[in-house]
Amino acid sequence: MRNIKLELSYDGTDFHGWQRQPDHRTVQQVLEEAIEQLTGVCPATNASGRTDAGVHALGQVVHFYTASRHPPEVFVKALNAMLPDDVRIRGAWEMPQSFHATLDARAKLYRYVVDNHPFADPFQRRYSYHVHQQLDVAAMHRAAQSLRGRHDFHSFETQWPNRTSSVRTITHIAVNRMNDFVWIDVEADGFLYNMVRSISGTILLVGKGRWPEERVAEALKAEDRREAGPTAPPQGLFLVRVQY
C-alpha cells in the first residue's frame, strides 16, 4: 500500500467541520467519497486535526493508504475534478509508510480574521467576524504575548472528553492590522478544542478597551474557562498551514 499525503483548502461555510458524522455534510466525507470514486476503495483518511463546523482551511493536511498506482499529480487533477467546488486539493505527495498526518504534525498556524470596518463587508461576512468598534491592535498584540511559551491552556479550551493534558506550547502569536481587517495569528505545537477562538474572543476584549492588558495573563494562570473571554464565532478562523 502507498501512503499519500494531500494538502487541501476548503471553505468551511457549508460543512459541519472535518470529521465524518451521520446526517451531516463534512469535508472528510466528501474527500473520502472522491477518493473512492477514483480508486474504487473507500479509504480511511487522517487529517492533521479536526476543524469545526464553519471553520476554513487554507492548508489542511491529510494522509491515506491506497493500492492505487496513480502518480500524485493524477490524484490532484482527478480529485479536483470530482470534489465539490468548496474543497480543492493543492498538492499530493507519496510519503514513507510511517508518515502520519495527525501524529507527525509538529506545528500548526491558525489565523483568526476580524472585519473591523464600522460596517461589515458583505463579501467577507463568511470569512471574518465583524467588530464595528475600532480595535486597539497594539494593546491586543502586547496582551497576547503573555500566552507565548509552554502553558496549561485550560482557560482557553472548551471541555472535550478524553483530553489528558491541556499543556501546549505557543511558538508565535501576533496581532496585525491590514486596512480594515485584523489578523490574530497563533502557531503552536498543538491546539485544544476551541483554543484559537477563545484566545481571540479574550484578546478582543482588550482591543475593545473592556479588559486591561494584564488580565489576559491572569486568565491564563487561573486555569479556569470562566476567567477567559468568550469563544469567537467560527467563520473568522482559518487553518493556514501544518508543519511536519
Instruction: Find where cell 510519503 sits.
Output: 95
Per CB under 8 A, the segment of 3-11, 140-148, 188-196, 212-220 that binds a second copy is 3-11
With contact defined as beta carbons under 8 Å apart, do 242 and 108 qualify? yes
> Does the footprint of a second copy cover residue 10 (CB under 8 A)?
yes
Q: Which is nearer to a second copy, 10 or 110 (CB)?
A: 10
d(CA 97, CA 75): 18
What is the CA 54 to chain-centroid distance, rounded? Answer: 10
Closer residue to a second copy, CB minimum distance, 215 or 241: 241
Residue 73 in the binding site for a second copy (CB under 8 A)? no
Residue from 18, 110, 127, 129 touching a second copy (CB under 8 A): that is 127
Residue 75 contacts a second copy per CB under 8 A: no
Cell of 74: 493524477
Q: Does 119 bind a second copy (CB under 8 A)?
A: yes
Q: Which stretch binds a second copy (CB under 8 A): 33-41, 96-104, 118-126, 177-185?
A: 118-126
Q: What are phi and psi of 153, to 5 degrees?
A: -95, 30
Residue 11 interacting with a second copy (CB under 8 A)? yes
With contacts defined by CB under 8 A, name the span among 16-24, 83-91, 215-223, 224-232 that binds a second copy: 83-91
Catalytic, 52? Answer: yes
CB of 10 vs a second copy, minimal distance in Å: 6
Of 70, 88, 148, 177, the one binding a second copy by CB under 8 A? 88
Does residue 33 touch a second copy according to CB under 8 A? no
How many positions of this chain bind a second copy (CB under 8 A)? 19
Active site residue: 11, 23, 52, 180, which one? 52
The nearest distance, CB 120 to a second copy, in angstroms, is: 6
What does the alpha-carbon distance between residue 189 and residue 48 come to, in Å, rounded to a whole number?
11
Report, in angstroms and rounded to the nearest whole number, the Rg of the chain calculated over CA atoms.
19
| Binding positions for a second copy, rule: CB under 8 A | 9-11, 56, 76, 80, 85-90, 119-123, 125, 127
Q: What residues act catalytically? A: 52
